[in-house]
A and B are shown apart, each in its own frame.
Chain A
Amino acid sequence: MARSNEPIWWSLFSAGGVVAAFFVPVTIVVTAIAVPAGWISDENLYLLLQQPLVRLYLFILISLPLFHWAHRFRYVVADLGFRGGGRLPEIVCYGTAILGTVLAACFLALG
């Protein structure tokens, strides 16, 4: 019943929205406050970032929120009056999210 491929993007948007809602605020607290304030040592932070589960966490926090941004932003662009682009906003937005996902996978698996 694939009348439209929209469910793919909408489910990625939803998953990204859930991940962003639950995990992004506290992660910002860690990267923006805890680390600069020295509540975790640079050494321990580095070791933490080498853990596979932490890398997986980072991958999810990069990829899914990017798809959340992509889907929502594509509609915001239209809502703000820029409707003439045809499928360009979709291609740019989802393309960026896909690119970000691929890059994140490379960096986190190989870095």
Chain B
Amino acid sequence: MPADWWLKKRTYSLFMVRELTCVFVGGYSLVLLILASKIGDQQGVTAMLNSKTLSVLQLIALPMVIYHTVTWLNLTPKVLVLWRGEERVNPLLIAGIHYVAWIAVSIVILCVVFGYG
């Protein structure tokens, strides 16, 4: 198998893009870790998060991380197999519920952040 096997077929390329989103996910963890190291220092936190470079990097990561979310949620029916008697619970329903949960959780977080203080 040549090292560029994943460039040969569209499904393989999409697979590799999905896998590489983990770099952006891990990268953001690193950003949060650095933030955590300054957490007691209000100046430090402010300076870090107001950095334009950091914002741009995060905005580049954002679509990649959303692609992780979408590909992950779409695969939940493969892992969460539920039965009602002889019928399998519709996979679209399983994925749909996860999407609703994602939106709901995001709204809650935004409310907590904006509502604080």
Contacts and interface: CB of A to CB of B under 8 A. Distances in A.
B49 A31 contact: yes
A92 interface: no
Contacts of B59: 28, 32-33
B69 A108 contact: no
A36 B55 contact: yes
Nearest to A103: B33
Contact of B32 (A29, A61, A79): A61
Contacts of A72: 19, 22
A28 B37 contact: no
Interface string B11-46: 000001001101101101111110111111010011
Given A35-B50, A40-B113, A62-B32, A24 B25 contact: yes
Given A25-B106, A58-B32, A107-B36, A73 B26 contact: yes
A17 B72 contact: yes
Nearest to A38: B50
Which of B32, B39, B66 counts the most chain A CB atoms within 10 A? B32
Interface residues of B, number: 50
Contact of A44 (B3, B55, B117): B117
Given A20-B65, A21-B68, A25-B65, A66 B117 contact: no
**Nearest 5 Cβ contacts at the A-B interface:** A69-B26, A81-B3, A44-B117, A32-B58, A26-B106
Interface of A: 16-18, 20-36, 39-50, 55, 58-59, 61-63, 65-66, 68-70, 72-73, 75-76, 79-81, 100, 103-104, 107-108, 111
16 contacts: A20-B69, A21-B102, A30-B110, A35-B50, A40-B117, A42-B45, A46-B46, A58-B32, A59-B36, A61-B29, A62-B33, A68-B25, A73-B23, A79-B19, A100-B30, A111-B40
